[in-house]
């Protein structure tokens, strides 16, 4: 589970608010389908077309559970549906339809959006900013996990909740808060691997992870600063 932030123009944000399903194109990248599976589907297409549903189910069951979950989400299926098996040609068709659909959505958006990904450090960055596991009322607790939901789908396109947005005015306010001189030292002092793990801060932390999380905070600070300088809004999502 990764957190990605994308800077957009105010008019673009208005379009996403009017048509929330179109926002998925902002987060489309090469990890849409797990790389190993995509490579296999390209290399072994003829052989895959001959695979019956039971053979496909058996093959998928041998994948790491996290990869099974990711594959199901990216194909718009549940793990249970994949476990029941699809014929090889059905699987190839599903992959192609999914990739084509998302490529079309991406092409309908501006091609070059400034963006930053916190990868799996996102929850740690949130915690060292505000000291809480969940978003709250304070501005700093909103930086990573706040924003107005785009659409009314509780799971969103990635299964981890809907994409969320900040207006240009909110971005400017956040950028100002993140520039506070003593913010980074306060955040560093708040990093406590044991306490964070006890609180269930994803994905679990070791003392050696402190610099990784602080680097994520710095990159997010710079991203918001740049977006504010250009008068942009921000769209974010867990993917």
- 31-70 tens-digit pLDDT: 444 444 444 445 556 666 677 777 777 777 777 776 677 6
pTM: 0.69
CB 226 within 8 A of CB 158: no
CA 81 to chain centre: 23
Q: Which of 151-165, 173-187, 225-239 has the lowest mean pLDDT?
A: 151-165
Q: Which segment of 35-44, 86-95, 147-156 scores lowest on mean pLDDT?
A: 35-44
> How many domains, the chain?
2
218 & 184 share domain? yes
In a domain, 28, yes or no: no
78 token code pair: 């549940």
Q: Quick: pLDDT tens for 167-200.
A: 999 999 999 999 999 999 999 999 999 999 999 9
Per the CB < 8 A criterion, the answer to whether 53 and 85 are in contact is yes
Q: Are 75 and 151 contained in the same domain?
A: no
- Same domain for 102 and 200, yes or no, is no
Looking at residue 88, its pLDDT comes to 63
154 and 221 together in one domain: yes
Which residues are within 8 A (CB) of 116 and not within 5 positions of it... i.e. 6 or more apart? 4, 5, 219, 220, 222, 223
Q: Span 144-149, mean pLDDT?
A: 97
Q: Which pLDDT belongs to residue 81?
A: 73
Q: Could you give the 3-state DSSP secondary structure of residue 52?
A: coil
pLDDT of the residue at 2: 93
> What percent of the chain stands above pLDDT 90?
58
State whether 140 and 232 are in the same domain.
Answer: yes
* Model pLDDT for residues 22-33, shown as the tens digit of each residue: 998 888 654 444
Assign residue 220 the CATH number of its domain. Answer: 3.40.1760.10
Would residue 151 count as lying in a domain? yes
- 124 is written with which tokens? 């740690």
Q: Which of 81-85, 117-121, 127-131 has the lowest mean pLDDT?
A: 81-85
Residues in the chain: 239
The answer to whether residue 150 scores a pLDDT higher than 70 is yes
The residue with greater pLDDT, 98 or 80, is 80
Least confident of 50-59, 209-218, 219-228: 50-59
Contact 97, 41 (CB under 8 A): no
DSSP state of 158: T
What local confidence, expressed as pLDDT, does residue 54 receive?
76
Q: Bigger pLDDT: 163 or 27?
A: 163
Mean pLDDT (the chain, rounded): 84
What region, left, alpha or beta, does residue 103 occupy, with left being phi > 0 and alpha being psi -120 to 50 degrees? Answer: alpha
Q: Which of 61, 83, 107 is the last residue of a domain?
A: 107
Read off φ and ψ for residue 151, nearest 5 degrees. 95, 175
Q: Tell me: do 71 and 168 sit in the same domain.
A: no
Asked if residue 118 and residue 142 are part of one domain, the reply reads: yes
């Amino acid at each position: 589970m990764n957190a990605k932030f994308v800077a957009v123009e105010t008019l673009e944000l208005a379009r996403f608010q009017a048509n929330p399903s179109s926002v998925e194109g902002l987060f489309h990248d090469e990890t849409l389908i797990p790389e190993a599976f995509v490579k296999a589907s390209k290399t072994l297409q003829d052989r895959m077309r001959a695979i019956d549903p039971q053979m496909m189910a058996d093959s998928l069951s041998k994948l790491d559970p996290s990869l099974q979950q990711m594959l199901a989400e990216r194909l718009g299926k549940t793990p249970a549906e994949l476990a029941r098996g699809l014929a090889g040609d059905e699987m190839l068709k599903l992959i192609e339809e999914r990739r084509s659909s998302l490529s079309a959505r991406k092409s309908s958006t501006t091609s070059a959006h400034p963006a930053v990904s916190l990868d799996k450090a996102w929850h740690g960055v949130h915690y060292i900013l505000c000291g809480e596991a969940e978003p709250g009322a304070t501005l700093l607790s909103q930086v990573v996990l706040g924003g107005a939901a785009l659409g009314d789908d509780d799971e969103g396109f990635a299964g981890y909740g809907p994409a969320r947005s900040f207006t240009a005015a909110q971005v400017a306010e956040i950028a100002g808060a993140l520039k506070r001189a003593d913010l980074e030292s306060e955040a560093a002092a708040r990093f406590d691997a044991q306490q964070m793990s006890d609180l269930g801060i994803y994905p679990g932390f070791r003392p050696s992870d402190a610099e990784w999380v602080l680097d994520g905070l710095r990159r997010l600070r710079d991203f918001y600063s740049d977006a504010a300088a250009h008068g942009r809004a921000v769209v974010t999502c867990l993917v």
